Amino acid sequence: MTFIEKLARVWKLREVRNNILAVLGMLVVFRFAAHIPVPGVDVEALRRLFASNQFLGLINVFSGGSMENFSVVAMGVAPYITASIIVQLLVMIIPSLERMQKEGESGQQKINRATRFLAVPLALLQGWGMIQLLRQSGQGVIGALSGFQIATILITVTAGTLFLMWIGELMTERKVGNGVSILIFAGIISSLPTVVGRTLSVFDSTQIFNMIVFGAIALVTIVAVVILTEGQRNIPVSYARQVRGNHVYGGTSTHLPLRVNMGGVIPIIFAISIILFPMTLAQFFIRAQSPWLANAAKTVVDILNNQLVYGILYFLLVVAFTFFYTFVIFHPQQIAENLQKQGGFVPGIRPGSHTAAYLSAVVSRIILGGALFLGVIAILPLSVRYLTGLQTLVIGGTSLLIVVSVVIEIAKQVEAQLVMRDYEGF
């Protein structure tokens, strides 16, 4: 079945068509809200600040592009993502939360409820920090605000975050992809016309070769990201045959898929936060009254402004965080115990601790390739800028990884709905 035939079939199925149209309608509401600015903010000065600061630019990506306007949904879903990461880490640390998660759907609902409640104070805290950051930027983004005005802004942006959380959950229920990921995806895509227009405004005939090089790099990167996202190592698993009464169970063979990129974009987020936070903090102390503090801040800024030093540190941090986060979410000992309880084993490997050690060794090898590739993706904008000389149009590795991952997820979920309706037909 060709792509056009699949699209025609999707459109003919009423339920699938209604789900897609509902998601598109919610995206329109999101983009409308992203253009309603909060009073008391100089939007033009804010955009100039975001264009000159990579850390704020990353935050803007995960707010779906709404922070650049400081709109009513300026915080985006970033507080919810942070709350999800914190809760997942607590689940691995606190035994009671781990037992709750194993309770099935009811336990997962409790975990989700705790994540929503935690997102509220995080949104307030992030909103307050953003206001203070914009005040100290020296760009005149925010003028003198009274306590009532600050409280109004904080309540507004927190309500905006809760509104996007609700929209994201409604999208997820439509089974056309993960709602939070789709919101981030929409923010990235919505910024493309602006970037392309800015590039064309300074384009001349001498840059044709650079544009061709850029297009080739972009195409190769997209293909490589798809391969990385879909890449996995299948570990063969066999189940022993068991006889219970007159019934025979097991005796089958399957596989355990181990993905090359288990951490997704989380390692890149951690790495860029670590490397850019000192630069952002140092910029506020360059004008300090104390000479030693001002000199120290200037030294930090000068070191991190060196593109070579910045690229090397960024690459190493991404690789390190990829290994760290993979072994935080992947538990070979637990997987080995579950296989042993179910009568499963890896051919040629003894069950129990030997299987756990084997899985750890395999994951370490395949994650090395994934970590190196993520590191290359992270520093790709620097490389493209150096090769082509185009300062206005660069490939954002993190953004590209998110876009490709979301498109693949949407395609798989729509395909699953088509297959499910094929079975219903039989």
Whether 2 is in a domain gets the answer no
Domain boundary among 190, 208, 243: 190
Domain boundary among 190, 213, 237: 190
Give yes or no: residues 130 and 206 share one domain.
Answer: no
Give yes or no: residues 91 and 211 share one domain.
Answer: no
CATH number for the domain harbouring residue 354: 1.10.3370.10
Give yes or no: residues 139 and 76 share one domain.
Answer: yes
| DSSP codes joined into one string, 116-152 | HHHHHHHHHHHHHHHHHHHHTTSS--B----HHHHHH
Give yes or no: residues 63 and 178 share one domain.
Answer: yes
Distance from first CA to last CA of the chain, Å, rounded? 19
Whether 36 is in a domain gets the answer yes
- Domain residues for the domain of 318 are 198-426
Give yes or no: residues 131 and 277 share one domain.
Answer: no
Are 353 and 336 spatial neighbours (Cβ–Cβ below 8 Å)? Answer: yes
pLDDT in tens, the chain (426 residues): 566 777 777 788 888 888 888 999 999 998 888 888 787 777 677 777 766 665 566 566 655 556 667 788 888 887 887 788 788 778 777 888 778 877 777 887 888 888 889 989 988 888 887 777 677 665 666 767 777 888 888 898 899 889 999 998 898 888 888 888 888 788 778 777 766 666 666 556 666 776 777 777 777 777 877 887 778 888 888 877 665 656 655 567 788 888 888 877 677 767 766 776 676 667 667 666 778 877 887 787 777 777 778 778 888 888 888 888 787 778 888 888 888 887 788 888 888 888 888 888 888 888 888 888 888 877 777 776 666 555 544 555 667 777 777 888 888 888 887 777 765 554
Angle between helices 54-62 and 43-52 (to 10 degrees): 110
Looking up tokens 């493309």, which residue turns up? 192
Whether 6 is in a domain gets the answer no
Give yes or no: residues 247 and 173 share one domain.
Answer: no
Domain boundary among 141, 164, 190: 190
Q: Report how many domains make up the chain.
A: 2
Give yes or no: residues 186 and 204 share one domain.
Answer: no
Give yes or no: residues 179 and 224 share one domain.
Answer: no
Give yes or no: residues 162 and 253 share one domain.
Answer: no
Give yes or no: residues 129 and 258 share one domain.
Answer: no
